Amino acid sequence: MRRLLAGMLAASLCSGQALAQARDPVNPTCPAQPSWSDYPSMRFSVATMNGMRVLKGEGRIDASTPTNLQAALDEHGDSVDEIWLRSPGGDARAGSQAGFIIRQSGLPTRIPGGWACFSACNFMFMGGIGRFVDPGGVFMVHMFTHVGDGSATRQQVRQGGDTTVNIVGDIEQASALLASEDNDFLIRMGISRALLTDVMYQVRAVPSGGSRETRRCLTPEEMDRYHVRSGEYDG
């Protein structure tokens, strides 16, 4: 009951904060300037918001994020009502690991109005036992990539021969493995796997050909269709 009341308070607070945002002409479903925090590594802090205790995760997701999240939950988990997230993404597997930790904590997750959760942050958010995206909150997706330095990879591919074959083989193998992990994660979290095929895998992580679109922001209807947000607490 406490969490349900806290969630209602948060929704009221954040909907009042949500403002219309200018659209990105390259990624027209998304705001031009997403608010996802400039911290180079995700920071966790506890704040009291309108009488509710919130664990805020803000910044880029890296290999240290799951450990730091667990430490924050060990210290504050018993007094926290929700986990709020804003992040530009980062390490995909670290995001999934953090999502599993959140699910084990039994806490709900929220993207407040004006905040954005992109890429690996999606998987952290999905770990919530209850998942909420307030009016003005942004759930932003794209297809994963294993090509961190695109220019360097293109240069290697131009060399041709065995180098190209090896690069393509490595990328195919790694991509297939991560796709399998993504499917497994969504099933465990109660998210529709169609989110991957219908949306995430349709948006390339890097510009290609005539399209420069690299981000897609889900509408409220899409978030409900794919069970991204739960609408109510499960426990």
- H or E element, residue 197: none
Domain residues of the chain, as ranges? 2-144+173-225
Digit-coded pLDDT (tens) for 166-223: 544 544 554 556 667 888 999 999 999 999 889 888 876 666 666 678 899 999 999 9
Sign of the CA dihedral running 45, 139, 124, 6 = positive
Name residue 86's beta-bridge partners.
58
Which 3-state string (H, E, C) describes 9-78? HHHHHHHHHCCCCCECCCCCCCECCCCCCCCCCCEEEEEEECCEEEEEEECCECCCHHHHHHHHHHHHHH
Q: Taking the model in full, what pTM does it have?
A: 0.77
d(CA 90, CA 118): 9
Biggest distance spanned by C-alpha atoms of the chain: 63
20-75 pLDDT tens trace: 579 999 999 999 999 999 999 999 999 998 789 999 999 999 999 999 999 999 99
CATH superfamily of 2-144+173-225: 2-enoyl-CoA Hydratase; Chain A, domain 1 (3.90.226.10)
For residue 28, what are the contacts with CB-CB under 8 A and spacing of at least 6? Answer: 213
For 61-113, how does the pLDDT look when each residue is reduced to its tens digit (9 = 90+)?
A: 999 999 999 999 999 999 999 999 999 999 999 999 999 999 999 999 999 99
